[in-house]
């Protein structure tokens, strides 16, 4: 099948074959239609046109990196690893026209600065007593004062000593709940 997209005008200097107007294979002595391009050099700006058999032969022996020094090869490979795009160390700078977005840094990826990677203030450290207090009240994540109050009321109804027949265990549990509520309420109102 002949593809009209490969007409001779697509490849300047090509010799058309007969009535179809397709370019002839540029392999010496070949009379087949040249339907496949093969680069002449590393610039990839000029191409030979070959038939399928000859483009396979040409590509099997052609080496894009031929004649490059070891240093040039290293530069080429490093650039290709990032798709020939510029890169910077994390947190140093950003791509032009793309401002950094503020990022929550819970794993402290940037421990050596007082601010995060983009000049924002670091998240305040959560005290261990607040973590324990949340565990006692059975809440997780970021909570509001209203959520703490609601949870406190539910636990008071459940563990109040009067509702549990004066149980010593319920009394101890209530002391823990009151202490946890006080810690979290203080932390949220300051």
Q: Which of 22, 42, 61 is the last residue of a domain?
A: 61
Q: Is 153 within the bounds of a domain?
A: yes
pTM of the shown model:
0.36
Is residue 161 domain-resident?
yes
- Nearest of 25, 27, 31, 29 to residue 8 by alpha carbon: 25
* Residue where one domain finishes, among candidates 61, 84, 109: 61
Domain C-terminal end among 39, 61, 83 = 61
Which DSSP helix (H) or strand (E) runs through 47? Answer: strand 47-50
pLDDT given at position 110: 55
Query: Domain of 40?
Result: 4-61
User: How many CB atoms sit inside 10 A of residue 36's CB?
Assistant: 19
Sole residue written with tokens 């058309």: 16
The average pLDDT across 28-34 equals 91
Range scoring the smallest mean pLDDT among 10-24, 43-57, 167-181: 10-24
| Residue 152 within any structural domain of the chain | yes
Looking at 3-12, 13-22, 50-59, 66-75, which range is the least confident one? 3-12
Question: What's the rounded Cα separation, in Å, for the pair 180 and 155?
Answer: 11
Is the residue at 76 inside a domain? no
Residue 112 lies in a domain: no
How many domains are contained in the chain? 2
pLDDT, residue 90, reads: 63
What is the pLDDT, as a whole number, of residue 4?
36
Residue 140 in any domain: the answer is: yes
Q: pLDDT band at 109, cuts 50/70/90?
A: low
Is 118 part of a structural domain of the chain? no
- CA 1 to CA 170: how far, in whole Å? 88
Which of 49-63, 69-83, 120-134, 158-172 shows the lowest per-residue confidence on average (mean pLDDT)? 120-134
Whether 155 is in a domain gets the answer: yes
Q: What is the CATH number of the domain that holds 132?
A: 1.10.287.110
- Angle of helix 145-159 relative to helix 168-189, nearest 10 degrees, comes to 170
For 119-159, the pLDDT digits (tens) are: 455 455 556 788 889 989 998 888 889 999 999 999 999 98
Once rounded to an integer, what is the mean pLDDT over residues 48-77? 90
């Amino acid at each position: 099948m002949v593809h009209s997209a490969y007409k001779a005008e697509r490849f300047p200097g090509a010799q058309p074959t007969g009535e179809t107007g397709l370019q002839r294979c540029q392999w010496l002595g070949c009379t087949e239609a040249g339907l496949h391009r093969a680069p002449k050099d590393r610039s990839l700006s000029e191409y030979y046109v070959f038939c399928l058999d000859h483009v396979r032969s040409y590509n099997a022996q052609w080496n894009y990196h031929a004649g490059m020094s070891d240093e040039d090869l290293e530069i080429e490979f490093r650039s290709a690893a990032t798709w020939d795009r510029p890169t910077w160390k994390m947190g140093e700078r950003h791509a032009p026209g793309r401002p950094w977005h503020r990022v929550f840094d819970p794993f402290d990826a940037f421990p050596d600065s007082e601010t995060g990677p983009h000049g924002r203030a670091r998240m305040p450290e959560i005290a261990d007593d607040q973590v324990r207090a949340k565990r006692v009240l059975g809440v997780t994540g970021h909570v509001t004062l209203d959520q703490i109050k609601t949870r406190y009321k539910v636990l008071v109804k459940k563990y109040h000593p009067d509702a549990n027949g004066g149980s010593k265990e319920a009394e101890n549990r209530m002391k823990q709940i009151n202490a946890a509520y006080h810690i979290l309420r203080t932390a949220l109102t300051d």
